[in-house]
Structure 1
Amino acid sequence: NLSSSLSSPILSKEGLPGEKDKAQPRGVFGNLLAFQGAVSASVDSTGDREEKAEGGSVDGASSGLNGNLEEDMQCVLDHDLVFWMGDLNYRIVEGVELDEVYQLINSGDDGLEKLIELDQLNQERSAGRSFRGFHEGRLRFGPTYKYIPGEKPQRYDNRPEKKMRCPSWCDRVLWRQPPGTMVSYDQFASVDPRPVRETNEAFRESVQLLQYRAVMGLAISDHVPVNAVFDAKVRKIDQQRRLEVCREIISERARSECRTIPLLRPSERAMWFSDVRYEQDQQRSLMLHAEIPSLAAIVGGRDQAADGAPDVPFRISSNSVPAWLRLSPMEGVVPAGGSLTITVECLSSVAVGNVSRLGADILSAMLVIFVDGGEDRVLPVTAFLAKQEVYAAL
């Protein structure tokens, strides 16, 4: 059940294509796990990131999968577990001299700890401006950018003839797990983990970070790749039980609708009177049935009826009844599952009078039956006059 999507290249601040393709493939597994790969556009300062992060996005410097960051974040963050990885392009904060950065890198663990505090991503997360709710393991490796491609042993690119880039942790792996679950970092705790109180036993310690490291030795790029190993606890869905629950929910919904939506069905789709003669009125009977629809298609293949279906009040529109028709009753209540008889009478003297006035041998009407809270019904009624009556009228 693995699917993926790929976005168009990220646009620059001016709305033009970026200097290199920056795509964000996303995979979804079982609608529980989401894996988001991203290559974010670089920015010159933390202030630029703050400007791009307006609106509470996960990463203000990242483009959305469909070009609409807000909509895409809703899709990604709806999953139980989200793993976000890639070249996020966060750098060392402004104001730090390049020589000072190299000195800290060469000072062992103590120097790296000081340099980590100057990392833009750590500062942005601590301030709540980016990747809110996400976690990251402790950085126990040196900056992953910028190296001299193809050179071994690997070394940072500090060649004077090249554009001097400050070594930074551009390449990162973060994750987000269900709210209310305990975060387990072991010895890889981040600078400020702040684990939340555990409230969801089903997802207790749902993600455990086992390894977070830089993969030294791959010298084909100016970046050193990083990898992370997780032990993740996910739900296992019983598909058979899932179908049963869906059927139960749909069945209950259908019963509820049957109890609240009146259903009225006339016994005839159309009604007519033939050979109508002067002073010889005709009558027909119309049955109105208050239906209780079958749920056979929903409830396990068994033909069941909804309990507690309502009585159905109705009213025939007087404006739809012509002078040559008389109906009784014009309104009433049909009991649930029962029926009610309406007498429809063709008044022949009036009908023949209409023939003399209109010069036609056929009269028609459309009766409108209003159903209180339900679907209204329309019934065509036609009267055919005997030919001699037409001639007498003429």
Structure 2
Amino acid sequence: MANADAMGLWTLRFSSVLAPVPVVELLEINRFWGYGLLGPAIAATWATGLWQRRRQLARVGPAAPSGPQARHGFWDAGEAHEADGHAERRDRAMTNLVASIKDESVDADVRVQLIQDLVDLGGEAMALRLAPVTVASEVDVEVRLEAAEHMSRFNLGDAVQALEAIATDPAVGDKYRLDAASALADSAARPAAIALMQLVTDDGVSEYVRHSAANALRRVNRPAAAMALRHLANAPLVTARLRIICAEQLADDNLEDARDALWRLVKGVESVMDHHLGIDAAEAMHGIDPEAGVEAYSVLAVDSCFHWSGRIEAAYRLGRLGVGDGFDLLSDFACAEGVEDVYGLAALDRLFQLEIESGTLDAEE
């Protein structure tokens, strides 16, 4: 109504301004003076009407919002929502979601993704409700592990217990035990070291997991990691290749133990069965201790139980290292009695290579 009154007043004033137009035409007075006053009069009338309209709007004021404010998220717990029973609905929804996470009929990957999304949305309130999931043995271990890792952000004590239970459970798969122990290392060093050492010493665990556990120990407890690597480097059930790798890593902390582990391979039955392993062990020995490496090559080159191909290769490696015995051994192998022609020719070929590399023999010769 106020707006209508203002508009009516403005129209009335504008009409009164235009009223002199017929009078000017009728009396035929000077049009310059008659019509020249219309412009300022119209401008003054427009300004007056605009000012009155703004004053009317200021009196009325903006309309106050009615009803409760819109909720921005499901997990909001404002006072107005509490009065409307929002807390009960929120609690019931969380309970149902936890039940869905524990439901074995739902795919494990879907439940893992559900945990990630719910914790991102619900925060601490949702994460703390995952405690029953982490200790439920009937729940898939990957779901338990995911729940424990997220719960560690808000409740470290319960999360550590859950991760430790997974890492030390023999019924759990090797990979998940390693993941749990690695996650435990970020929050509790002592339980993590115990769990990782159990994995290293468990012969029923795959050697890949055992080696990974030993490496994970290096950022938790360096002396314990050295013990783990020494155990793997001397373990007969571990493949020789991995034993060589563990010995090389062990040399960073204990050079003597690393040499002992490699000597066991150089002089062991593994080298007799596969001469490549003996050469690789001697090469690793030379990498951590050059003098011991030269000795290892010499032992292999003169070992009658070692394969002829391995003996020739060991002598060739000696020659490349600048040891004169390498040339002499290859020369002896090339003309030795009872040696098959194929190995004699191989020794002679290696001898020529050494002569060329050392510069004592031209390639053309």
**Hey, which of these two has a bigger chunk of helix by percent?**
2
Task: Compute the TM-score of the two structures, normalised by the length of structure 1.
Answer: 0.24
Higher RCO (CA 8 Å, separation ≥ 6 residues): 1
**Hey, which of these two has a bigger chunk of strand by percent?**
1
